[in-house]
Structures are given as structure tokens and as C-alpha cells.
Amino acid sequence: MRETELTASHLIQPLFVTAGAGVREDIPSMPGVQRLSIAELVEEAAGVRAAGIGSVLLFGIPAEKDELGSGAYDEEGIVQMAIRALKESDPGLTVIADTCMCEYTSHGHCGRLRDDGTVDNDSSLELLARTALSQAEAGADAVAPSDMMDGRIAAIRGRLDEEGLTETPGISYSAKYASAFYGPFRDAADSTPAAGDRRGYQMDPANVLEAIRESKLDLDEGADMLMVKPALPYLDVVHRVKEATGAPLAAYHVSGEYSMLKAAAGAGWIDERAAALEALTSIRRAGADAIITYYAKDAANWLDE
């Protein structure tokens, strides 16, 4: 009589790839998560697949950063090389590339900066389109723009179509909030803004109608799947967006949500397995078709027991 199903097929595992060789670097604020060099990434992805998970979301940490985040669209960039290695090792693995600038820019923002330090939305679209194209050409099965620049879905879709990559889907971070729950991720990706914050282009946590408008706009621009980020503090948004659009919908169970469960479990205050599975089930119950979570591999193994 259970109404909501949670299986490994609903889960997507985020992975961090970094420059170097032989790297398995623990992220202190995200217990159990590591930065991995390419060979180690391929090994970790094999473990993810063995757990029954078919998809990974890839984030890159380059050796060097610059003002324009050129490592994001370099054909020999860390993510592009990692995509090729993953697809060569396991062609059946669905590799989703996070499409953004913040991990690659020296200032930590998600686009090109004006002289006054604010992000120039329109001139950033070309850089994002170049990034998505380079990821798709490297073999990414889908691109996932997470920058929240207005018009970036149309820009990316247009560039991919011009280059004959009409079958590469776009997973839009359509409702990404200016949340306090991203801190551990910014440690992992070394992407904390050097100055200011991202409230100018990410969404106000108080707004839900805006999330519906943004999601519908992204569908109009050619998005194939929508996303709400974070997940647990925004279950109402997940539900409202799914109800309003009927489109395929992912929710991102973000680093802060993951690390809070880890911390409470480490202190002996909660049963980690039960709490994590309850949290993920609640995201599915709200309406998410897919869940991006650092618990993916563990949750798949727990569900299989």
C-alpha cells in the first residue's frame, strides 16, 4: 500500500574531479565525500554503478582559475577529460556535466564581472554556451546549467543545435535559491565568492511563484528537465513546480542538508540510515522524479539490503 517509491533508479551521484594524479582528498565539511583525480573518479563511478545507480553529476576543480573561467570551456579542461575517461570506461553510464563558471573563475562568481564587481548577465551567456558545447563534444550525455543567468537555456540550446548536438538534453537548475545550505559544497569546489554574494542572480528563499515563472520560462527556452535546489527546505517548491509544469523534475539534496545529517549521526543523535532514507523519500513524495544526493551510493546499497 506504499504510495511513494524510492529506488536506486531515482538517484544521481554528484562527483568532484580535480587535477593531478592519485588524488583521493577528503572534504572535511562533507564526511564520506572526496575530491578525485581522473583515474580515481573512474574507479568511484564503477562503485556507483555497482550499487545500481545509472547517473553521475560531474563538478570540476581546475589546477588554475582566471577572471573568465576559461577552464570551464577548455577542450582539455578537467571536466572534459573526465567525461571522456568515464565514457570510455563505461559507455552506459549517464554522465551529466554541471555547466557553470563559479568553480573556474578567480572571483568565484557564476559569470563575467563588470568593472563594478557585479555579474554581467548577457555577456556571460556566450561563455556558458561555449562551456556546454565543450562538455557535450567531450561526450556528456546531458548538460546542467546551474548559473541562474537569465536566457542561458536558450543560448545553450541554440549553440548545441547549431553544432548538430540536437539530442543532448539540458537539465536546468530552474529554481536555484540563494541558500545558506551550500557552504560545504563551496569548500569542496573552492568556489566561495571572493567578494559579494550570489543574491543578484539566485532566487530569494521567500519566493515560490517566481520559481514557477522561472521554470516555465526555461521550458519555453528548451529545457528538457527542471530542477529545484535545495530540496528539503523547499519541498513545497518541488511540489508546486511539478504541479504547475508537469515536466520531468529533479531536486538537489545539497551539501548542507547532507552534512547536517552526517553531523547528527556522528554525534549519535539520529539513526543515519533511517533519517537519510526518510529525507530522500520525502523529496520523492513532494514530486521529484530524480534526486541528486551525496547519499546516492549509500542509499542504493541500503535499499538493496
pLDDT in tens, 56-115: 999 999 888 887 788 888 899 999 999 999 999 999 999 999 998 878 887 777 777 777
User: Which range marks the domain in which residue 149 is found?
Assistant: 8-304
Q: Would the pLDDT of 198 be above 80?
A: no
Which strand (E) or helix (H) includes residue 80?
helix 78-89
Residue 140 lies in a domain: yes
pLDDT score of 200: 67
pLDDT score of 107: 75
pLDDT score of 116: 78
Residue 136 lies in a domain: yes
Residue 112 lies in a domain: yes
Q: Read off φ and ψ for residue 275, nearest 5 degrees.
A: -70, -40
Residue 268 lies in a domain: yes
pLDDT (tens digit, 9 = 90+) per residue, 116-145? 777 787 888 899 999 999 999 999 999 999
Cβ–Cβ under 8 Å, residues 253 and 232: yes
Residue 92 lies in a domain: yes
Where do the H-state alpha helices sit in 117-228?
Answer: 121-138, 152-162, 183-189, 209-221
pLDDT score of 17: 96
* Helix pair angle (272-286, 255-266), 10° resolution: 150
**Shortest CA distance to 124 belongs to which of 95, 96, 104?**
104
Cβ–Cβ under 8 Å, residues 201 and 149: yes
Residue 1 lies in a domain: no
- Integer-rounded Cα radius of gyration of the chain: 18
**Domain tally for the chain?**
1
In angstroms, rounded to a whole number, what is the distance separating the alpha carbons of residues 66 and 1? 55
In angstroms, rounded to a whole number, what is the distance separating the alpha carbons of residues 257 and 255? 5
Query: Active-site positions?
Result: 176, 229
Q: What is the CATH classification number for the domain harbouring 179?
A: 3.20.20.70
Q: What is the mean pLDDT of the chain?
A: 92
Residue 2 lies in a domain: no
Mean pLDDT of 24-37: 94
Cβ–Cβ under 8 Å, residues 232 and 276: no
Q: Would the pLDDT of 192 be above 60?
A: no
Which strand (E) or helix (H) includes residue 226?
strand 225-229
In angstroms, rounded to a whole number, what is the distance separating the alpha carbons of residues 38 and 294? 19
Residue 3 lies in a domain: no
pTM comes to 0.93
Cβ–Cβ under 8 Å, residues 187 and 28: yes
